[in-house]
Structure 1
């Protein structure tokens, strides 16, 4: 067992949000998006390189593979801002050399993004494609995951934390006013007799993209993120995702779980999650405390943690 202790606290090392390992290469990603490479030797740990990004943000995911005996391939998926106030997903491929000359050093990088607006003036034909991309921008990102072939983006929502967003829709009364609502210039009360739907009961759509990476990193062909479809079915906001080998598991903030076959574009509900008012009160309290939840899976089991402890479900994905 080896322990690497940095000389001091820095954005490179604190806090670490992701790490992947394929002996002897260890890659870590900090919250400030410092990507660090380490060479794990027989009796030592050597920090070889750190890369930084000013245009990439959490949530993110890492996939590390070995295309040849002398190289590693690292793929990152992450959130990218879209001017002026929205987000999309991006992906970067890094080729890391394991030769003695460039021991655990990045030798090539390629980056692509789901929304790529060309600068300057564009003709009407290209404008249609740009508008399609533009319509897929999101106000916030709950999670994004990749397995190196597929990239899934879970849009975030303004999660309800108050009684007004209770599971049962409440009628809006024009005679009752809220001091905070009346003082907000952007608030527009619903007409009398209408019902305000909670985002907890709105359908969630996961954006599915195909990541195209030319075989040769030196190829003139650029990498692409191609939109495939929106995955519909899960009700309520999605909290987190897990993705592997063309399969995706999505965990809702209410504990609901869906399993998706990305190749076929089909989904199956594994757990409906919280349905009763008492359960939803626990969901709101958990959201207010910042607890996000987590989910992992293999061919037979789904392990999730979402406020009610750790739950294991057997399921043939």
Structure 2
């Protein structure tokens, strides 16, 4: 009997210039030996980053010591998160029906992969499910009687999804005039959460934030579909340092990002319906002092990017 079978869910791994964190993620991936591995690396922003980008790619590729169908995409110029990651996912889902997405600072534990495999198969035809999160930033408020639950709050820190879901996504935000709470109040669990998402969408639209993941949440709300969230955290974010593209957003949740849970046994046996109180409890406890945080975010993003980075380094060393 084979005891070292290869993992048959395709994986897309996003890297940039953080060699040390990327190595920890590829080492976790190497433990399951995926049959198909895609690696996409953004290009350097300046001359000084060229060597870091090259060394990171070489180091990651040196850890791939099993037979697999390997695809590597590189870029000479820097695209930024908003273009690079959606572009990589577009290319990935032109080839694959489903798969797992990991970034260079999101280290999955050993239960993450079976959790994703089981649920990607179980919900492949359920159009009410948008994505499968691997992260639960506040597991102490989850119901441990359930292995996972349906949520309107999703995370891209280690996730699985399908082509059918990704085809709904666009990183471009044409207009938010018709994106108002009155239209979605029968779906969205909280006015505060809607305000939070719309604030960051406006910051993205005005190019104050170079990101892609708030558009991902926006897509779920617009289509009135759900994320799956594990009752324990299965992914550890190790990217809380001054090399991240959106350091402030990472540090915003840094208190909880290194929490990691234990085993989820047979997650596919668990059936759930959406319970609004789960999200209300999570959001209200996690986002204490909500309006103060909103105010501080607005002030923060009025500063030039160079000053924002200096502030982040000062407070989140």
How high is the TM-score relative to the length of structure 2?
0.26
Structure with greater helix percent = 2
How high is the TM-score relative to the length of structure 1?
0.26
Structure with greater strand percent = 1
- Structure scoring higher RCO (CA < 8 A, sep ≥ 6) equals 2
